[in-house]
Amino acid sequence: MPEERRNSQAERISTAIANAYKQHYGRGPTVILTRFAGPDVVTCVLEDSKSPAQAKLMQVGRDDLVHEARSALQAAHQDELCAIVAEITGRRIRTMVSGVNVADDVSVETFLLEPEDEATELPGT
């Protein structure tokens, strides 16, 4: 895929996922970076997206509740986020892996895409 097309898709994915975060979490990230990591992996790094309520919980030492809630919300919105990436890339999503570090207010959404072309099976495998 041409680099210009990948960059355009990455920008569109960033915007759409930031909007989804804003809708579901009450505010979107102030920083989002989306990149293709090879032909079949898309990774989005989202920073500074915790809500005022989550910030308050962290002030009183309840990082555990914030982590649990953020992880549960990521799982609850997995289908929607996969649909966003599938629509923009024109590719089926094999799986999505999410992570969150509440102390640094960073979330990562990684999408593994179905291969465009069937890989050739290696001899002996």
pLDDT at 10: 96
Q: Indicate the number of domains in the chain.
A: 1
Helices (H), 3-96: 3-25, 52-59, 63-76, 78-89
CA distances from 98 to 6, 48, 52, 83, 108 (A): 21, 16, 22, 15, 6
Asked, for residue 90, whether it belongs to a domain, the answer is yes
The verdict on residue 66 lying in a domain is yes
* CATH number of the domain to which 26 belongs: 3.30.980
Residue for token digits 């953020």?
70
Q: What is the mean pLDDT of residues 107-121?
A: 79
Q: Is there a domain that residue 125 lies in?
A: no
Does position 73 have pLDDT exceeding 90, yes or no? no
Q: Pick 58 or 120 by higher pLDDT.
A: 58
Domain residue limits at 60 = 3-113
Please indicate, yes or no, if residue 122 is contained in any of the structural domains.
Answer: no
List, for residues 20-71, the tens digit of each pLDDT value.
989 988 888 999 999 999 999 999 999 998 888 888 999 999 999 999 988 8
Q: Is residue 120 within 8 Å of 58, Cβ to Cβ? A: no
The three-point CA angle 44-26-71 to 5° equals 55
DSSP state of 38: S
pLDDT over 50 (residue 125): no
4 or 110, higher pLDDT: 110
Q: In this structure, what token pair is assigned to residue 74? A: 């990521």
Using only C-alpha atoms, the chain has a radius of gyration, in whole angstroms, of 16
Residue at 118 is within a domain? no
* Cβ-contact 17, 31 below 8 angstroms: no
Tens-digit pLDDT profile for residues 78-102: 999 999 999 999 999 999 999 999 9
Give the global pTM.
0.85
73 in any annotated domain? yes
Question: Rounded to an integer, what distance in angstroms lies between the CA atom of residue 15 and that of residue 23?
Answer: 12
